[in-house]
């Protein structure tokens, strides 16, 4: 019998499982996957002040999270983190960077970083939860 369990955090063996199986499925379907997670960290005096995480796979780079401590915002740290991702993946056979963000988060910030809105999913009950799908082509 198969048991289903909720896991708050995944250790390395689960991350290896995801990477291996994600790549295997793509290969079996004639697609080059190259699934890799990434993290870029901004530090000041050995203190983490910002981070951007995501995954690169197929021909795109997906941003999962961008977080900058409140007291470090408006100091271009978020912009520098996004530029670090772009510079790392540019000229490596990736077509675009993409992400989602909510209206209360940072759609205008990402537009300033050169992202274009592909789609907006409106939330009629709470407009702050309207979701933006953005892309930036290399």
Q: Percent of the chain at pLDDT above 70?
A: 100
Query: pTM here?
Result: 0.86
Q: What is the mean pLDDT of the chain?
A: 94
**CATH number, domain containing residue 55:** 3.40.630.30
On whether residue 6 sits in a domain, the answer given is: no
Which of 19-28, 52-61, 75-84, 116-125 is the least confident region?
19-28
- Which tokens hold the place of 42? 């901004």
What pLDDT, on a 0 to 100 scale, did the predictor assign at position 33?
86
pLDDT of residue 83: 98
- pLDDT per position as a tens digit, 3-20: 999 988 888 898 889 888
Q: Which domain holds residue 85?
A: 12-21+31-137
Q: Does the structure show a pLDDT above 90 at 133?
A: yes
Query: Per the domain annotation, does 111 fall within a domain?
Result: yes
What is the predicted pLDDT for the residue at 18? Answer: 84
Residue 92 falls inside a structural domain = yes
pLDDT at 9: 85
Residue 109 lies in a domain: yes
Total number of domains in the chain: 1
Residue 1 domain flag: no
Q: 47 in a domain, yes or no?
A: yes
DSSP H helical segments within 1-138, as ranges?
12-28, 77-89, 107-112
Is residue 91 situated within a structural domain? yes
pLDDT per residue as tens digits for the range 33-62 = 888 889 999 999 999 999 999 999 999 999
């Amino acid at each position: 019998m198969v048991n289903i369990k909720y896991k708050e955090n995944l250790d390395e063996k689960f991350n290896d499982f995801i990477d291996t199986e994600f790549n295997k499925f793509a290969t079996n379907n004639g697609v080059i996957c190259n699934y890799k997670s990434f993290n870029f960290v901004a530090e000041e005096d050995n203190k983490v002040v910002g981070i951007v995480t995501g995954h690169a796979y197929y021909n795109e780079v997906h941003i999962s999270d961008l977080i900058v401590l409140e007291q470090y915002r408006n100091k271009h740290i978020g912009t520098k983190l996004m530029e670090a991702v772009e510079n790392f993946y540019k000229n490596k056979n990736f077509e675009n960077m993409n992400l989602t963000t909510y209206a209360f988060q940072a759609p205008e910030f990402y537009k300033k970083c050169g992202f274009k809105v592909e789609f907006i999913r409106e939330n009629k009950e709470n407009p702050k939860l309207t979701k933006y799908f953005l892309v930036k082509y290399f």
